[in-house]
Amino acid sequence: MRDNGPMPTTAPSSTSTLKIGPHPVQPPVVLAPMAGITNAPFRTLCREFSGGKGLFVSEMITTRALVERNEKTMQLIHFDATEKPRSIQLYGVDPATVGKAVRMIAEEDLADHIDLNFGCPVPKVTRKGGGSALPYKRPLLRAILREAVSGAGDLPVTMKMRKGIDDDHITYLDAGRIAVEEGVTAIALHGRTAAQHYGGTADWDAIARLKEHVPEIPVLGNGDIWCAEDALRMVRETGCDGVVVGRGCLGRPWLFADLVAAFEGRTAFARPTLREVADVMVRHAGLLGEWIGDESRGVIDFRKHVAWYLKGFAVGSEMRKRLAITSSLEELRSGLDELDLDQAWPAGADGPRGRTSGNNRVVLPDGWLKDPYDCAGVSEDAELDTSGG
């Protein structure tokens, strides 16, 4: 298990550049796909802070909604003109639909890289055999990967998964081998089981084991990177080829500046004052409004980010509540202007943020665990009909 002691900030000594297909990712830092979060505006902010370095994956797009050209889905797959490479994450349970979605992306030039999501632990998905329940059915996983890789043509296809369903039903090593056999370009492993949801500690040893198990392709480590030093430590301790960072950048897109600095051997990390944070908040809300095409809806969508941005700052609970129900940029800005904006970056704000609970029982279809090779009864309903959920 990983050591929780103090750590040096030395950059990894490895000089090999992570490549996702033809795309170099240098330094090897990836924004984790997060439904409802990693849309074009948030990716823009993260990219600005990283100086354009790294890889920024879209929120999850369901394949059925994509092939049906669902209106919301078509908006979610929007990339800013400057995004290169354009990374899209797909979620699907039916090999034929996944194949169609991937072909559509390739033929219509909708993205440059496709990531497949096999990590979702949400009960309404696993109950039907989807998400993190799916890799347990080895032949189905193989069929999906085969369709995706063959439909993608020259586009690289990667997969993201968890360790397994629970400690008694670990799937990541088999899934990794299947991925290599089917021509997947790289694998990201979130070091938790579905049963853990977001609780406990990510198992970085599993990332190291996967790296040994699939030496043919890059392995990206994911789970519990809260600050740039954590990212360096994950690479050092697991030998992974890159890191995928999710909750650590909620309300903190400048973490990408820190990550780039750390991998480049610099230690000057961003410690914004509340004034600087407030400016980013207003910009984030404004970008959401432009993206949605309606300022008020943008600010309303931004509400979920408010607590993350303000984490650790001395802001009274009444003011926090007020800021989380604003409906216009002016209201947001004037509320923020009432705060003591000279506050320094708070000690402790580099720690965990976002969801941290877990240890739920995984809800599965009847008899799911009886036979990993029997794929009868996998329901296409496991795929939600809208994206980003």
Q: Which residues bind ligand FMN (CB under 6 A)?
A: 32-35, 37, 59-60, 89, 117, 119, 160, 190, 222-225, 245-248, 354-355
CB nearer to ligand FMN: give 60 or 364: 60
* Rounded-to-integer distance, Cα 362 and Cα 364, Å: 6
CB nearer to ligand FMN: give 115 or 329: 115
CB nearer to ligand FMN: give 89 or 238: 89
> Cβ of residue 97: shortest distance to ligand FMN, in angstroms?
18
> Cβ of residue 249: shortest distance to ligand FMN, in angstroms?
8
- List CB contacts of 9: < 8 A, sequence separation 6 or more: 228, 229, 232, 262, 267
CA angle 184, 188, 190 (to 5 degrees): 145
> Cβ of residue 352: shortest distance to ligand FMN, in angstroms?
8
* Rounded-to-integer distance, Cα 32 and Cα 34, Å: 6
> Cβ of residue 32: shortest distance to ligand FMN, in angstroms?
3
> Cβ of residue 246: shortest distance to ligand FMN, in angstroms?
3
CA angle 279, 283, 285 (to 5 degrees): 120
Instruction: Please choose, from the candidates 216, 131, 126, the residue with its C-alpha nearest in 3D space to the C-alpha of residue 176.
Output: 216
> Cβ of residue 289: shortest distance to ligand FMN, in angstroms?
21
* Rounded-to-integer distance, Cα 90 and Cα 95, Å: 12
CB nearer to ligand FMN: give 132 or 326: 132
CB nearer to ligand FMN: give 44 or 89: 89
CB nearer to ligand FMN: give 28 or 335: 28
Instruction: Check 120, 227, 240, 249 and give the catalytic one.
Output: 120
Catalytic-residue membership of 375: no
Residue sitting closest to ligand FMN (CB): 246
Task: Supply the residues annotated as catalytic.
Answer: 120
